């Protein structure tokens, strides 16, 4: 079979007309839609492959920041073998385009790896193309997770905060592990009505693995599958096709992360859970309720844990917390210790105490 394909390829490439057509195709492919970006500054690339060899393999934000400074622009354009990427380098530029002109720039590019192979479109509706389906998911999500809805979830937050405090007191050296568990535990309870024990990390690990696949695929802004979509047809068993095997494994993990919590919750549906309300609102539409719930759990777990870990790891932040505890301790004591203030902490919901604390808290 291989020898036959080789003979066919050798004969085809010996024909000058086929070679000419192939050359024209390659040139058109590499320069497609690039004329629209000529006015946007950016690094000069090579023929056909553009800036593909200049695109950083790791920590791309450092190279992109360097290009923004080099071209003195908060918007630059990069050509990856015909795939044009526009990079925004300031909050103002991002706000101008994605908020003030969201009707024009609200859509996402089609991502071959994430959508067609890794199945992230079902786990996170943010990867849907802008349209009726995306708006339907977004409305359901906003109904349950906008600021006005958060007070409904205070009991779950307070309970898990108490558990976290006890764990930190018992084993402060494991604070990162404690933080890794507390936020997914809150979201599992709020979204699915499932309470996780402190040592139950199955769903936590499942969400972490799913979001790790997303990070690996997007950390460099794109993948070879996005640049050369035809590579999705390469079988995973072929030597050198490790990228395809990794993407297929990520797809299996993503499906499990979306379906398993949903299926477990439906067996004993908690009436106060977001999933129960989603099923009621959507007339028991399993797909719509499942995808909206998984977006809340997966995306929320990832971002909040990352923020908490950053705070815990940052020495300056820890020193700031110590300075705060000394400077503001008397104010906090008046709220939390009834013998030292006019209000009894037991008379208030713990989260309501925040309004009595100094603004800096």
Q: Within this chain, do residues 190 and 307 fall inside the same structural domain, yes or no?
A: yes
Q: Nearest Cα to 352, choosing from 106, 154, 113, 82? A: 154
pLDDT at 192: 92
pLDDT(1) > 50: no
pLDDT(6) > 70: no
pTM score, whole prediction: 0.70
CA gap 140, 328 in Å, rounded: 41
Q: Within this chain, do residues 149 and 97 fall inside the same structural domain, yes or no?
A: no
- Express as a percent the part of the chain with pLDDT over 90: 7
Q: Within this chain, do residues 218 and 306 fall inside the same structural domain, yes or no?
A: yes
What does DSSP assign to residue 68? H
- Dump pLDDT digits (tens) for 182-211: 888 999 999 999 998 888 888 888 888 888
Q: Within this chain, do residues 223 and 272 fall inside the same structural domain, yes or no?
A: yes
- Dump pLDDT digits (tens) for 206-249: 888 888 777 766 654 456 677 777 777 778 788 877 777 878 88
Of the pLDDT bands very low, low, confident and very high (cuts 50, 70, 90), residue 2 is very low
Spell out where the chain has E strands: 75-80, 83-88
Q: Within this chain, do residues 160 and 99 fall inside the same structural domain, yes or no?
A: no
Number of domains in the chain: 3
pLDDT at 349: 56
Identify whether the C-beta of residue 190 lies closer than 8 Å to the C-beta of residue 261.
no
Q: What would the DSSP string read from start to end of 266-331?
A: HHT--TTSHHHHHHHHTTS-HHHHHHHHHHHHHHHHHHHHHHHHHHHH-HHHHHHHHHHHHHSHHH
Domain end (from 106, 126, 155): 106
Q: Within this chain, do residues 238 and 303 fall inside the same structural domain, yes or no?
A: yes
CA gap 305, 301 in Å, rounded: 6
Q: Within this chain, do residues 154 and 295 fall inside the same structural domain, yes or no?
A: yes
pLDDT at 343: 45
Q: Within this chain, do residues 230 and 309 fall inside the same structural domain, yes or no?
A: yes
Q: How many residues appear in the chain?
A: 361
Domain end (from 106, 128, 151): 106
In this predicted model, which residue has the larger pLDDT, 153 or 117?
153
- Dump pLDDT digits (tens) for 243-294: 778 788 888 888 888 889 999 998 888 888 999 999 998 888 888 888 888 8
Domain span at 273:
141-313
CA gap 122, 125 in Å, rounded: 6
| Residue 57 covered by a domain | yes
End-to-end CA distance of the chain: 70
Q: Nearest Cα to 288, choosing from 128, 130, 110, 153? A: 128
Q: Within this chain, do residues 201 and 247 fall inside the same structural domain, yes or no?
A: yes
| Residue 201 covered by a domain | yes
Tally DSSP H helices, then E strands, for the chain.
16, 2
CA gap 49, 81 in Å, rounded: 4
SS3 category, 75: strand
Q: Within this chain, do residues 28 and 163 fall inside the same structural domain, yes or no?
A: no
Q: Within this chain, do residues 172 and 206 fall inside the same structural domain, yes or no?
A: yes
Q: Within this chain, do residues 168 and 288 fall inside the same structural domain, yes or no?
A: yes
| Residue 293 covered by a domain | yes
Backbone angles phi, psi at 191, to 5 degrees: -80, -45
| Residue 132 covered by a domain | no
Which residues, 6 or more positions from 262, have their beta carbon under 8 angstroms from its beta carbon? 192, 275, 286, 289, 290, 293, 294
């Amino acid at each position: 079979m291989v020898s036959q394909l080789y003979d066919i390829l050798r004969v085809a490439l010996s024909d000058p007309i086929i070679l000419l057509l192939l050359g024209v195709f390659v040139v058109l492919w590499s320069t497609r839609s690039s004329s629209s970006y000529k006015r946007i500054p950016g690094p000069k690339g090579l023929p056909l492959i553009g800036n593909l060899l200049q695109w950083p393999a790791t920590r791309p934000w450092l190279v992109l920041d360097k290009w923004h400074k080099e071209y003195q622009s908060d918007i630059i354009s990069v050509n990856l073998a015909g795939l044009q990427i526009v990079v925004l380098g300031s909050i103002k530029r991002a706000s101008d385009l994605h908020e003030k002109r969201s009707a024009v720039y609200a859509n996402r590019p089609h991502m071959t790896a994430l959508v067609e192979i890794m199945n992230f479109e079902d786990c996170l509706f943010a990867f849907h193309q802008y349209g009726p389906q995306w708006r339907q998911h977004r409305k359901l999500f906003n109904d349950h997770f906008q600021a006005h809805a958060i007070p409904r979830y205070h009991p779950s937050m307070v309970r898990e905060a108490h558990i976290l405090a006890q764990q930190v007191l018992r084993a402060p050296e494991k604070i990162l592990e404690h933080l890794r568990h507390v936020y997914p535990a809150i979201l599992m309870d709020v979204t699915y009505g499932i309470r996780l024990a402190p040592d139950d990390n199955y769903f936590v690990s499942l969400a972490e693995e799913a979001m790790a696949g997303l990070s690996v695929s997007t950390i460099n802004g794109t993948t070879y599958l996005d640049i050369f979509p035809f590579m999705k047809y390469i079988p995973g068993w072929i030597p050198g096709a490790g990228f395809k095997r990794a993407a297929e494994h990520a797809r299996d993990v993503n499906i499990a992360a979306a379906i398993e919590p949903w299926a477990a919750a439906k067996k004993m549906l908690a009436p106060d859970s977001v999933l129960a309300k989603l099923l009621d609102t959507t007339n028991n539409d399993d797909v719509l309720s499942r995808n909206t719930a998984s977006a809340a759990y997966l995306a929320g777990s990832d971002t909040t844990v990352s923020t908490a870990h950053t705070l815990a790891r940052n020495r300056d932040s820890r020193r700031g917390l110590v300075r705060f505890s000394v400077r503001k301790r008397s104010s906090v004591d008046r709220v939390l210790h009834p013998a030292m203030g006019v209000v009894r902490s037991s008379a208030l919901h713990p989260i309501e105490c925040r309004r009595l604390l100094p603004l800096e808290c």
